[in-house]
Chains A and B, each alone.
Chain A
Amino acid sequence: MSSYIITIGTLLVIQAIAVCGLNVIVGYAGQISLGHAAFFGIGAYAAALLSTKAGLSFWMALPLVMGISALIGLLLGLPSIRVREDFLAITTIGINFIIEALFRYVQFFGGALGIGGIPRIVLFDVRLKGMAFFYLCALFLILVLLVCYWLTKSWASLACYAIREEESAASTLGISPVRFKLLAFVLGTSMAGLAGSLYAHYMQFISPSDFSFPMSIAFLSMLVLGGMGTLWGPVVGTLILGILPELFRPLVDYRMLFYTLLLLLVIRFQPSGLLGEESTARRLLATVLRGRLSR
């Protein structure tokens, strides 16, 4: 398999992990986060710093990276979630801008030049790259999906869905909205942190502009396209939005416009995404399957 495809594939898998995290926040708990890239960045920078400055291996640093992402998610989430719904969108945008600014202007994070020389991940004394690294990322994605699946079967998910649908009714059932929104937020940000860590070790060089607001929009687009609140939605959405630009290479100038128009069309006509409940894709699939089965 050409190394080009492997590169694209690896990036897609890493992004899908981040989008799964966003799905927990937006899809399961119904909270809007337009700053997800910030936590992707926090994970990446944490991994970069722990491996370059503290000499920790990826594996040793991983719990720390996820812990830091979760902790910062908790700290930033707490004031954000107490505000009204409309404010949350703006607050998360603000978080993105502020965190990116911190990365860019505070010397500890390498400033505008970022951090380089991040080592590859070592497993059983083998420096993983190419196909091997892809498999590792895919493994993490499967783990994340399993966690999400198990989550949807838990009581916690019932609470989150209740909050998503009717928050005041949920509170009369003993569900503390703040607690569960925060829970979803922290879970989502720690997944983003994991993805960020993989990203850092993959690119071996990160800079603040990798984690700016447009990246948050990209994540959200992937989620919306695939279907918020579904299990495979994040993967499908990431795949499509990742592969399309490669297909449209010749029209590279119109790529961005195509993206944004696609996002507009999807959100306007099919807000629940491709895999969403009443989506055309699902209905088509159901009709096809029914046709097959009745033969």
Chain B
Amino acid sequence: MGSIYALVTLGLALVYGIMRILHVAHAAVYTIGAYIGLLIFQLTGSLLAAFVVAALGCAGVGVLIERFVYYPLMKYPPFVPLIGSIAVMLSIEEICRLIAGPYILAFPAKLPFPDIQISGLQISSTLLAVYSITAGVLLLLWFITSRTELGLAMRATSQDISIAGAMGINSHFIVSITFVIGSAIAAIAGILVGIYYNQVYPTMGAVPAYKTLALIVVGGLGSVPGAVIASLLLGTAETLLIGYANIPLPRDALAFIAMIGVLMWRSEGLLGSSR
């Protein structure tokens, strides 16, 4: 489960890194991804098509959100776009509910990965798919950001958006590209979760929405590797805690407690840098 968090948190960390906006609506993009994926799968029976169309669709949604909500609100204090983000997320949740119904829909797909056994541990095909796809996405992202010109531009823009502009980088374009990438990843994560739990429902975004916020804080705002590490740690911690569920607090609260704890110890998060 930690790697799913990692996938979702990844997009969020990317967006925060570049725009310093807490993109709560990212979870809504993730939900849309699951729904589109399910729809395409039901229409065509092809998982690949589902992934592709969902990724494209969500990329579009992400850019729309960025252009219509975040970019115009950039000059206001940060809680203004944050409220906008929350409003977008809740609206999308409602739209999904009105269109597809509030019921849990099944996503009975089988990913083309084998079920394997490693030293007595059963890893289902879906779980294996989750791990491999997460690893693949992380690798791809690492490659893009560190080896390509686009990645360089992205890193420059996230450092300082005005200086990047002065250096001839079309910063708005870079911001939109970041949203494209982040949203596409969210779509993939949404489909994977839908398949893994065999559930797609309008409020499925609520669970990761706020937890992933806590995760990017713990990992260090603006640090993508930090966010990934924090996600994996949280996933592991939650799994362990389910086994020893004596603590009278639910998993959601756990993420926040961890976050507050880390913040009090190190106010920039695990791998963050003070700005």
Contact = CB atoms under 8 A, between A and B. Distances in A.
Contacts of A86: 16, 20, 22, 78, 221
Contact of A87 (B72, B83, B217): B217
Given A97-B252, A257-B94, A260-B91, A89 B82 contact: yes
Give the interface residue-count category, chain B: 35 or more
Interface string B50-86: 0000000000000000001100110011111011101
Given A97-B252, A106-B248, A263-B87, A87 B77 contact: no
Contacts of A97: 210, 252-253, 256
A6 to B, nearest CB: 30
Residue with the highest number of chain A CB atoms closer than 10 Å, among B20, B90, B98: B90
A264 B84 contact: yes
A24 to B, nearest CB: 15
Interface stretch (A58-66, A77-85, A286-294): A77-85
Contacts of B213: 90, 93
Interface residues of A, number: 40
B264 A79 contact: yes
A278 to B, nearest CB: 12
A79 B77 contact: no
Given A32-B79, A86-B22, A267-B83, A256 B94 contact: yes
A267 B78 contact: no
Interface string B224-266: 0000000000000000000000001110110111011001100
B214 interface: yes
B250 A79 contact: no
Nearest to A107: B248
B161 to A, nearest CB: 15
Given A98-B257, A213-B210, A105 B250 contact: yes
A217 to B, nearest CB: 6
A253 interface: yes
Nearest to B252: A97
Given A89-B79, A97-B252, A260 B267 contact: no
A105 B250 CA distance: 8
13 contacts: A32-B78, A32-B79, A32-B82, A79-B264, A89-B78, A93-B213, A94-B256, A98-B253, A213-B210, A261-B87, A263-B87, A264-B91, A271-B80
- Ranked nearest first, the 9 interchain pairs of A and B with the lowest CB-CB distance are A94-B256, A264-B87, A32-B79, A105-B248, A257-B94, A101-B253, A260-B90, A263-B87, A260-B91
Interface of B: 16, 20, 22, 68-69, 72-73, 76-80, 82-84, 86-88, 90-91, 94-95, 98, 210, 213-214, 217, 221, 248-250, 252-253, 255-257, 259-260, 263-264, 267
